[in-house]
Amino acid sequence: MYAERASRLPGAVVWTSTPTGDGPGRVLPDGCMDLLWHDGRLLVAGPDTRAHATDGSPGPWAGVRFYPGTAPALLGVPAHALRDRRV
């Protein structure tokens, strides 16, 4: 189940996801960057140019999705340095 709501940060939305199936999932490219929280870890997801296969880790995910062009100013990292990466 995926849910999204407005954020207090301009140019961003907050989302949660609790996968219901077993095995890997797929995240389609949207040009956005996300801060992800899962299993006690904070990750930055760069803008994807192709579908990203998840590892199928069970449990809830939470994130902040930044619209294209928004996250680099906040993170101090150019988007191309994080393209197709999870760091």
Using one digit for the tens of pLDDT, what is the confidence trace for 30-43?
A: 999 999 999 999 99
Tokens of 83: 């393209």
Please give the tally of structural domains in the chain.
Answer: 1
Query: Which residue(s) pair with 14 in the sheet?
Result: 5, 64
Predicted local confidence at residue 54, as pLDDT: 82
Q: Chain centroid to CA 82: how far?
A: 12
pLDDT of amino acid 22: 74
In a domain, 81, yes or no: no
Pick the closest to residue 46 from 36, 33, 59, 56 (CA basis).
33
Residue 32 sits in which domain range? 2-69
The per-residue DSSP string of 30-67 comes to -S-EEEEEETTEEEEEPPPSS-EE-----S-EEEEEEP
Establish if 42 belongs to a structural domain. yes
